[in-house]
């Protein structure tokens, strides 16, 4: 599904819903994070997840990682995974919390 648009560099994390890789968007040279969200047990979960991701794409706030793209299969029958393309952060929330004093 990712085609030739992205060059995957490294796995940066794994979780209950999928895997996160660092990559380069070949046309722009921009570093991105690709989150593969899978598997879906039911088509309703596919559609709900896709709808929520599309809403996230339109949110733009300081301090929120923006959604650059959403890559999905061409048909509902082939919908086993979805890829969320986001800005690549060089750290994660766990490291930020661990190394920073939290204030009121």
What was the pLDDT predicted at 87? 86
- Residue list for the binding site: 36
- Most confident region among 1-15, 34-48, 51-65, 90-104 by mean pLDDT: 1-15
**Region of 17 on the Ramachandran plot (φ > 0 left; ψ -120 to 50 alpha; else beta):** alpha
The CATH number linked to 16 is: 3.30.200.20
Q: Is residue 104 part of a domain?
A: no
**What pLDDT does 83 receive?**
87
Per-residue confidence at 7, pLDDT binned at 50, 70, 90? very high
Q: How many CB atoms lie under 10 A from the CB of residue 90? A: 8
Q: What is the pTM of this model?
A: 0.72
Q: How many domains does the chain have?
A: 1
Q: Residues comprising the binding site for ATP?
A: 36
Tell me if 83 is assigned to some domain. Answer: yes
Q: What is the DSSP string of 43-96?
A: HHHHHHHHHHHHHHHT---TTSPPEEEEE--SSSTT-S-EEEEEEPPSS-HHHH
pLDDT in tens, 25-47: 999 999 999 988 876 666 677 77
């Amino acid at each position: 599904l990712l085609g030739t648009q992205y060059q995957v560099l490294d796995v940066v994390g794994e979780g209950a819903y999928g895997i996160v890789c660092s990559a380069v968007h070949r046309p722009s040279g921009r570093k991105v994070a690709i989150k593969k969200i899978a598997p879906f047990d039911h088509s309703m979960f596919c559609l709900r997840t896709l709808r929520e991701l599309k809403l996230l794409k339109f949110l733009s706030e300081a301090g929120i990682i923006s959604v650059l793209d959403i890559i999905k299969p061409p048909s509902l029958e082939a919908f086993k995974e979805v890829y969320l393309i986001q800005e690549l952060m060089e750290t994660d929330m766990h490291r930020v919390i661990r190394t920073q004093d939290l204030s009121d």
